[in-house]
Structure 1
């Protein structure tokens, strides 16, 4: 595990899980999603120089907290599936636009979609929405601190962050490569969400997340590869996740599996996306099982069906307007 990739994976595993493990062991499992999404700040800016990482992680953390807040407010207000799908699509488009503009790198805008789509369907009161937002903020701060801890020992005197001003202005100024890509992501996510709703799928937000995931790239061939890899990796992952759910593990064991799964996912995502999904899928299923007693077969089958549908919708959206160029901004 030596080298930059191993260091990055350990940093992500630590930063993403500190607050999550703390709130779950303290008995507040309802706060697990908020803690997880705030902590996912740590999986960004894997190899960026520290000055760039400091600003990028701060921006990502603020964005994830905002997404948790939006989702929590929508849930407390009792929005229906169609307005939620529209909101998630807008977030997906904006996240794609901004992460592409500043060259944020993997996982691109995906976690923002994950955060708002998940929290928007979890029933909460207004006071619980505020608490969720606070927990997400705490987790994001902890993740930022973990991500920047090495700066104390490996500071380079001449490092500095380049300005984002021009790239952001160029992204929203016609003609722009980023605007059509963002629109394609938004429309693909909206189509996936509406289709999942009208088909009465068990977890339609997973469909929107899958569509957003395969649309993070800007090259059609890359999108096709990601679609195939996501489906194949999820197929194996739901088998593994279903076995873990069926084992009815105690909460500390589930947390240990989540921590290890994130580490393995971070170690493999750059090299082999399908293998990373083998680990990320059980992680997602185990997180879901913390909230309600799981039906192992039902939860696993929902994950597979929703992922396949969302990935195919995302691929269809990519085929409508194939992008040019090549990007590694995939989840």
Structure 2
């Protein structure tokens, strides 16, 4: 029986094949910096710690010689995105507006992010997390004198996540077999310098840019409270370079976000203490990593509370408005992505370069 014809077991019976190791790393990388911020009374710095901690979701099941490269690129990209977002916040405030600065930073991060993840064959192969970091950090006002400290939080969190991503080497090389079955590691291949001149990559970048700018303008035009969520929704729904131009990812994101909004409401409406919200973030990060490669809509049931609880910790707002904005703006972003994908289907598409040319 071939792999394609073999029936797939339910996830709870197939747990040995899940990215349990990655999920534990990601949950710890999310929780530890937030616990430290909570202990020091600086939980409003949570977004910087959270984005730096996203370094741990990269590398996944790569062999360590290539994982070092992947997580290093991810850490640099996330810290650079945090720093660029902070620059947008500071310069935009001084100039009396952040719209054009934000749009410019978004394009820079999209181009750099798509090229970076494809150069090193990163998984996940998307600039989504860089986009999320630059937009959220660009929307947070920064008091005078706190800029370098906040950036330092992001750097420290990324460094911790980087070390955590490589810590599995000790587990796998230890004298005792791990209790939890771990996925086999794989080599990730050399850097693909050819992507810098690949027409397929630049075609994908164009789709990202058009979809995200369209989503952002639509959200701003409607006067919604968190327009960057529409941009993030569009970036999440555009298929990665080389993937099928499908709208299913956008549909999964809308459905999963709707369910995730309900879960978030159940978490936030009782007004739990901050330490419990940090625990929710860790659990949500674990669940997201378990399901993201298996069923995207289910993963969004965890990803949505993760994002909203971090936002609420940093800057508490009325829960009803937070939830409505998240769903409506995600739907707007996904609609923009669907429109761009459908147009891309109808247009002549660039041909991929030969395998030798892409190396």
Q: Which residue in 2 is equivalent to 1:186?
A: 209
What are the superposed Cα offsets for residues 91-114 of structure 1, whole Å, 9 maximum, x if unpaired? Answer: 123212221232212152110001
Q: Tell whether 2:135 aligns with 1:111.
A: no
CA distance in 2, matches of 1:126, 1:314: 38
Q: Tell whether 2:335 aligns with 1:312.
A: yes
CA distance in 2, matches of 1:88, 1:211: 12
Q: Which residue in 1 is equivalent to 2:70?
A: 56
Please report how far the alpha carbon of residue 73 of structure 1 lies from its aligned counterpart in structure 2 after TM superposition: 1.4
CA distance in 1, matches of 2:267, 2:18: 31
Q: Which residue in 2 is equivalent to 1:171?
A: 195
Q: Which residue in 1 is equivalent to 2:176?
A: none
What are the superposed Cα offsets for residues 104-125 of structure 1, whole Å, 9 maximum, x if unpaired? Answer: 1215211000100100000003
- Asked if the contact 2:86–2:137 (Cα under 8 Å) also holds between the matched residues in 1, the reply is yes
CA distance in 1, matches of 2:147, 2:135: 14
CA distance in 1, matches of 2:233, 2:188: 32
CA distance in 2, matches of 1:219, 1:297: 39
Please report how far the alpha carbon of residue 162 of structure 1 lies from its aligned counterpart in structure 2 after TM superposition: 4.4
After superposition, the Cα gap between the structure-2 partners of 1:108 and 1:229, relative to the gap in structure 1 and judged at 3 Å, is: same
What are the superposed Cα offsets for residues 200-220 of structure 1, whole Å, 9 maximum, x if unpaired? Answer: 111000111011001143467
Q: Tell whether 2:268 aligns with 1:245.
A: yes
Q: Which residue in 1 is equivalent to 2:86?
A: 72
- Asked if the contact 1:69–1:129 (Cα under 8 Å) also holds between the matched residues in 2, the reply is no
Normalising by structure 2, we get a TM-score of 0.83
User: Secondary structure at the residue paired with 1:177?
Assistant: helix
For residue 117 of structure 2, the aligned residue among 87, 99, 122 is 99
- Asked if the contact 1:11–1:147 (Cα under 8 Å) also holds between the matched residues in 2, the reply is yes
CA distance in 1, matches of 2:340, 2:111: 13
Q: Which residue in 1 is equivalent to 2:138?
A: 120
- Asked if the contact 1:71–1:116 (Cα under 8 Å) also holds between the matched residues in 2, the reply is yes
Question: Gapped runs of 5+ residues in structure 1?
Answer: 326-331
User: Secondary structure at the residue paired with 1:120?
Assistant: helix
Q: Which residue in 2 is equivalent to 1:303?
A: 326
Q: Tell whether 2:306 aligns with 1:283.
A: yes
Q: Which residue in 2 is equivalent to 1:45?
A: 59
RMSD between superposed Cα atoms in Å: 2.3
CA distance in 2, matches of 1:35, 1:211: 24
Normalising by structure 1, we get a TM-score of 0.90
Q: Which residue in 2 is equivalent to 1:267?
A: 290
Higher Cα Rg, which structure: 2
For residue 104 of structure 2, the aligned residue among 78, 83, 86 is 86
What are the superposed Cα offsets for residues 182-224 of structure 1, whole Å, 9 maximum, x if unpaired? Answer: 1211221112112211221110001110110011434675641
Please show how residues 213-252 of structure 1 align to structure 2 within 5 Å. Answer: 213-218=236-241, 223-252=246-275
Provide the aligned length of Structure 1 versus Structure 2. Answer: 320
CA distance in 2, matches of 1:208, 1:161: 30
What are the superposed Cα offsets for residues 159-184 of structure 1, whole Å, 9 maximum, x if unpaired? Answer: 977432xx22x1222x5221111121
Question: Gapped runs of 5+ residues in structure 2?
Answer: 1-14, 174-185, 352-359
CA distance in 1, matches of 2:245, 2:344: 14
Q: Which residue in 2 is equivalent to 1:26?
A: 40
After superposition, the Cα gap between the structure-2 partners of 1:246 and 1:160, relative to the gap in structure 1 and judged at 3 Å, is: closer
